[in-house]
Amino acid sequence: MYSCLQQEVAVRFFTNCSLPYEYKIVIAGNHELTFDQEFMADLIKQDFYYFPSVSKLKPESYENVQSLLTNCIYLQDSEVTVRGFRIYGSPWQPWFYGWGFNLPRGQALLEKWNLIPDGIDILITHGPPLGKKISVLLAVNFK
């Protein structure tokens, strides 16, 4: 029997992890709140919740949420080598309305980017490179 959280994670990643490919590599993004342990620790301490359903979760229900992804490779500030290609994944992005994996521009975000090893062939991130003008409004119109 799965908890509601486990079902939510399974559904969210089901599309990517069930594709008929030998390797499925995924990262979390700002909506995968329970994957961001520091965010969740702060969230459950708040009196006012931006995310009421998530903030009522007990830590034991999300501490190992990544372990639910059994049919794909989850990267979070980590790398994997597949068929000779070094692939690094990072979910971090500049602060955007207080979601998961947000950091202020500057030193905190730079420290995450500095974790990316030299010689990576494929970099997977949740946001575009600095200076690329992608806006939320434009993204809504893409089909």
Structural domains of the chain, count? 1
The enclosing domain of 41 has a CATH number of 3.60.21.10
* Mean pLDDT for back-to-back runs of 10 residues, the chain (143 residues): 51 66 88 82 68 68 76 93 96 85 92 96 85 56 38
- Model confidence, pTM: 0.77
The closest of 27, 2, 29 to 17, measured between CA atoms, is 27
Secondary structure class of 31 (helix, strand, coil): coil
Secondary structure class of 3 (helix, strand, coil): coil
Task: Find the domain containing 22 and state its range.
Answer: 4-141
Q: What is the pLDDT of residue 33?
A: 78
- CA distances to 10, 24, 80 from 13, rounded to whole Å, are 6, 10, 19
